[in-house]
Amino acid sequence: MSNCSEHVPEPSLWAAPADRDDYQRMIDVRDCLIAHGFPVPEPPSAEVWLEQRRDSDQIAWSPYTAIFGDDKAGHVEQFSREELTEINVACPQNGTGGFYVSYAD
């Protein structure tokens, strides 16, 4: 089974300074993923996350990258494309900082 996992940067036309509301949306997505059985690790503090967002060389933490990351653990391969689509529908990524795209064939 092959897989694809990659972070797609936020288009510059969408880019705006992040704020605590953006951080809270990430926490809400994390809570949703946990409610659907995904073991999402603790997020960084709001201050650290906002600093990550300001640093253009760094990808800010998101619940999706926390789960799938660069997929060295093979997490994407555990799910069908349909299952990954379902979780993205149930717990949509908000796009703050970009989207994490992952699917298995």
User: Are 2 and 104 within 8 A, CB to CB?
Assistant: yes
Instruction: Summarize pLDDT for 27-66 with one digit per residue, the tens.
Output: 999 999 999 988 889 999 999 998 888 876 667 788 888 8
What residues are paired with 7 via a beta bridge? Answer: 100
Domain ranges of the chain: 3-104
- The residue among 73, 72, 7, 67 whose CA lies nearest residue 43 is 67
Q: What is the pTM assigned to this prediction? A: 0.69
Measured between alpha carbons, how far is 31 from 56 in angstroms, rounded to an integer? Answer: 26
Measured between alpha carbons, how far is 20 from 17 in angstroms, rounded to an integer? Answer: 10
Instruction: Summarize pLDDT for 8-21 with one digit per residue, the tens.
Output: 555 554 456 678 88
